[in-house]
C-alpha cells in the first residue's frame, strides 16, 4: 500500500510544502520558449499564406 493511502491527510498537508525540481523548472521554461518560437513561426507562415492568397485572388479578378 502506498504511503498516501495509509495516511491520506499527511500527503495533503505535504502537498503544499513541496518544492519544484530546478531541472524540471528549467526544462519547462525551455519548452515554453520553444513553443513561443513555434507559435511565432506558424503566425508568420499563416500571414504569408494569407497575403499570397489575396494576391492570387486579385489576379484572378476578385476584389
The pLDDT tens digits of the residues spanning 3-38 come to 556 655 655 556 666 778 899 999 999 999 999 999
Please indicate, yes or no, if residue 60 is contained in any of the structural domains: yes
Question: Which uninterrupted H or E stretch holds 28?
Answer: helix 22-59
* 30 inside domain: yes
Dihedral of the CA atoms 48, 49, 51, 55 (nearest 10)? Answer: 140
4 found inside a domain: no
Specify the DSSP element, H or E, that contains 19.
Answer: none
Domain enclosing residue 49, as ranges: 21-63
Number of folded domains that form the chain: 1
Alpha-carbon span 35 to 38, nearest angstrom: 5
CA of residue 21 relative to chain centroid, distance:
19
- Considering the entire predicted model, what is its pTM? 0.55
Amino acid at each position: 500500500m502506498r504511503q498516501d493511502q495509509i495516511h491520506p491527510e499527511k500527503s495533503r498537508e505535504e502537498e503544499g510544502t513541496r518544492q519544484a525540481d530546478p531541472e524540471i523548472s528549467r526544462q519547462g521554461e525551455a519548452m515554453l520558449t520553444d513553443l513561443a518560437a513555434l507559435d511565432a513561426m506558424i503566425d508568420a507562415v499563416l500571414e504569408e499564406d494569407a497575403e499570397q492568397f489575396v494576391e492570387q485572388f486579385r489576379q484572378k479578378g476578385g476584389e
